[in-house]
Amino acid sequence: MNRRLLVASVLAFAGSAAAQGPAARLGVPAPIPPITVRASDPDNEGPPPPPPAARIGTISGARIGQGPDDASPEEKYNWGAGRTKATTTAARDRGDDEGSGARLRSPAPGRKTSNGDDPPPPPPPPEAGTDPGWWPGRNHDLEDLRNQFPAFGERDRDRIAFRSDCEFDNFISPISNPFLAEDPRSLTELRPLYFYQGIPSAQYFTQGGHLSFLGVQARAAFTDRFSVTMTKLGWSSLTSGSPLAPSDTGFSEIWLGPKFVFWRAPDTQTLASFGLQFQLPVGNGNVFQDTGGLGLVPYLSFGRMIGKTDYGSFHLINVAGYQLTTGSGRTDYFFDSLHLDLDMADEHRFYPTLELNWFHTASNGTTRPFLFFEGRDWANLGASAAGQDLVTIAPGFRYRFTDYLELGATIEFPLVGTRDLFRYRFGVDLIWRY
């Protein structure tokens, strides 16, 4: 009975399961289209690659794991040998005398430089005050003067030591009145010069004749603003037609002194300087080069490019000063020299020039009171010539061969005033500039 019941249950469960449909059915697979493979045309692949430049031959003798017999364990390991226990840190730290390669040096023992506390930071530099309007760049100028003067040729900030100021290279120096008409720039140069001056035949003391000077000037620029000048060093000569003034040649006075550029504006090509000239009467008395005591000449020199034209650029330089003496032996005088030049076609080669010079005798000297005329820049006679004036005009030119060498020449004539020793003057100079 139990068996029949069990068989009936199994048949009932199987019938119900067969009556249910499948939950999902697999579809018929889609046919795969035939794939056609075509070979590419070898002619379209371009030229064949070039043969290799070098070929490695067959390796026959080398074997992995072996190296030179005298190789260190490290080198044998690089060749492929297994690392052995002998390759230790101690082996890598052996010195060169044990056959190893390079090794790191042991750091040097440190040396204590303080008690453990860091030193305090340096105090901040004091703030520079503003420059006054009448002295632009004053702080920079004073700092230049405080620095030690550099040796020749050494670099000084952004310039070479003793090199002339290159921001005004298109300027040229005055030619006439060579001892007093000082260029406003800070320059380093040597300047041999010569002038010949005719004397009027009506001159009562010399009764004609001529005078001359042959010498050299030197200037040294320590900075773009400070320089030292020596404007008179050489020999003076007098040729006279009268026994009252015997002809002679002798050593001249020495004139030298410092110069400082207090206004320097390269953008507008404008500059101005102040100088003090010391006139040392150490020359020959027969040519009036020993008059009185020390002479002092403070002066101002101003320069500017005043305009451009189709013919070139114009430059103007004006120098004014006053000669005063420490005693009463020399004659005091005021002078002013005006220089105008044209840089032809702005080629910085040929410069026609025109210059005017004015001398005014301000006081009488006591060395030669019996004379009633003066020698001005050639010689201070110490004469009784107060109130006399002389204005001269000097056309000329400068020619610049290179940036370092230039020639100047001028012919000078009196316009108005007491001509005394001045009939005409011809002057020439040659400048070598660093």
DSSP-derived letter for residue 270 is: E
Angle at 192 between CA 188 and CA 196, to 5 degrees: 140
**pLDDT score of 23 more than 50:** no
Rounded distance between C-alpha atoms, residue 397 and residue 174, angstroms: 10
- Find out whether 174 and 339 touch, Cβ atoms under 8 Å: yes
Q: Mean pLDDT throughout 42-57?
A: 58
- Please tell me the distance from the alpha carbon of residue 154 to that of residue 209, in angstroms, as a whole number: 50
* Structural domains of the chain in order of their starting residue, each with its CATH number: 150-433 (2.40.160.40)
Percent of the chain residues past pLDDT 70, beyond the cut:
68
**pLDDT score for 138:** 73
Is the confidence at residue 386, as pLDDT, over 60? yes
- What is the tens place of the pLDDT at every residue in 184-195? 999 999 999 999
Task: Say if residue 366's pLDDT is above 90.
Answer: yes
Global confidence as pTM: 0.66
pLDDT band at 125 (very low <50, low <70, confident <90, very high): low
Q: How far is CA 273 from CA 6, 185, 225, 258, 260, in A?
A: 136, 7, 8, 10, 5
Q: Poorest-confidence range of 161-165, 195-199, 228-232, 275-279?
A: 161-165
Residue 270 has pLDDT above 50, yes or no: yes
Contact call for residues 129 and 143 (beta carbons, < 8 A): no
Asked if 221 and 163 touch (Cβ cutoff 8 Å), the reply is yes
Give the confidence band of 222 by pLDDT, cuts at 50, 70, 90.
Answer: very high
Q: Are 172 and 353 in contact (CB under 8 A)?
A: yes
Asked if residue 268 has pLDDT above 50, the reply is yes
What's the first-to-final CA gap in the chain, in angstroms?
A: 140
3-state secondary structure of 266: helix
Across the range 265-280, mean pLDDT stands at 96
Mean pLDDT of 91-108: 50
Q: What confidence score (pLDDT) does residue 88 get?
A: 46
61-96 tens-digit pLDDT: 555 556 667 777 777 777 666 665 544 444 444 444
Q: Which residues contact 274 (CB under 8 A, 6 or more apart)?
A: 259, 260, 262, 298, 299, 300, 301
Residue 70 DSSP code:
T
State which amino acid sits at residue 218: A
